[in-house]
């Protein structure tokens, strides 16, 4: 069940085409009819999510991957009076392409600094005309439309999904991919450390285990003055150094 609130017909057609290309089917139906169909097929738990402007989306893919796809393919549209800014809206510095005329008063009213150059209106610096959460006025919507800016991002929003006989809310499908990736990397690192320290050989840790064992055996042989081929040279050097130190101490008595 997906929300199509504030999604215009042209935008919905664009989204439907994207979904169709990957084998998904989006159906806009009347809520009362959809409720009957869901209850008749044993999926009545989804009925509570059929409120407002919604549609049914049929897919064979994992709902989590579908959620990621939907979020990546949101469409931008022109602002309308009364819309809420989803982020700071900035009119960029540069040539607007408009000749001097009545539109100048619109720039001035919205406090956008301009200058006339080469017969065109130029914005002199990047200007924030609305902060995130601000309600967009009719004047600002008009100016943004003329400039060609589309600051409103719209698309489907999953309200709930039916997975293996269980209803999962849209909130449960939210994934922080960076955090998820970080958790996997940390778990992998901890598993490697545990396997290495416990001397549990696996394909990923056998090299580290052997290297650690060799280093520890060298240190043991060196510290116990065990004469083996790999440590005899260092042991002799250590013995010579200790003998020289002892000789110096005795000589100084």
Q: For residue 230, give the 3-state DSSP assignment.
A: coil
Q: Are both 144 and 166 inside the same structural domain?
A: no
Answer yes or no: is 225 within a domain.
yes
Q: For residue 119, give the 3-state DSSP assignment.
A: coil
Q: What is the pTM of this model?
A: 0.53
Domain containing 21 — which CATH number? 3.30.70.1730
Express each pLDDT in 4-55 by its tens digit.
987 888 888 888 999 999 999 999 989 999 999 888 888 888 888 998 899 9
Burial class (CB in 10 A: 0-12, 13-18, 19+), 95: exposed
Domain containing 113 — which CATH number? 3.90.105.20
| Cα gap 99→122, rounded to integer Å | 10
Kindly give the pairing relationship between strand 54-58 and strand 25-27: antiparallel
Cβ atoms < 10 Å from Cβ of 231: 20
Q: Are both 20 and 122 inside the same structural domain?
A: no
- Name the nearest CA neighbour of 30 among 58, 51, 9: 51
Domain of residue 103: give its range.
89-151
Q: Are both 170 and 55 inside the same structural domain?
A: yes
Provide the domain count of the chain: 3
H or E stretch including 163? strand 160-163
Q: Are both 96 and 53 inside the same structural domain?
A: no
| Cα gap 95→29, rounded to integer Å | 46
Q: Are both 241 and 142 inside the same structural domain?
A: no
For the cut 90, the answer to whether the pLDDT of residue 149 exceeds it is yes
Q: 93: number of CA atoms within 13 Å, CB side?
A: 3
Average pLDDT, the chain: 87
pLDDT at 91: 96
pLDDT at 106: 94
CB 50 within 8 A of CB 27: no
Q: Are both 68 and 108 inside the same structural domain?
A: no
Express each pLDDT in 177-233 by its tens digit.
777 788 888 898 898 888 888 888 888 888 888 888 888 877 777 777 666 666 677
């Amino acid at each position: 069940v997906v929300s199509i609130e504030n999604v215009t017909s042209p935008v919905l057609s664009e989204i439907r085409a994207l979904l169709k290309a990957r084998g998904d089917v989006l159906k806009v139906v009347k809520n009362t009819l959809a409720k009957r169909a869901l209850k008749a097929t044993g999926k009545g738990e989804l009925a509570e999510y059929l409120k407002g402007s919604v549609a049914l989306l049929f897919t064979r893919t994992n709902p989590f991957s579908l959620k990621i796809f939907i979020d990546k393919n949101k469409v931008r549209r022109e602002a309308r009076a009364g819309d809420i800014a989803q982020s700071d809206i900035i009119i960029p510095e540069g040539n607007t392409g408009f000749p001097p005329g009545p539109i100048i008063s619109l720039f001035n009213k919205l406090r956008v600094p301009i200058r006339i150059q080469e017969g065109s209106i130029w914005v002199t610096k990047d200007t924030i005309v609305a902060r995130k959460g601000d309600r967009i006025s009719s004047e600002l919507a008009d100016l943004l439309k003329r400039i060609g800016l589309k600051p409103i991002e719209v698309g489907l929003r999953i309200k709930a999904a039916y997975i293996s006989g269980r209803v999962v809310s849209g909130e449960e499908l939210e994934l922080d991919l960076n955090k998820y990736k970080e958790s996997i990397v940390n778990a992998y690192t901890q598993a490697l450390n545990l396997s290495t320290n416990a001397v549990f050989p696996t394909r990923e840790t056998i090299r580290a285990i052997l290297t650690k064992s060799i280093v520890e055996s060298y240190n043991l042989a060196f510290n116990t003055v065990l004469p083996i081929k790999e440590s005899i040279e260092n042991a002799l050097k250590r013995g010579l150094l200790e003998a020289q130190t002892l000789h110096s101490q005795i000589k100084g008595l």
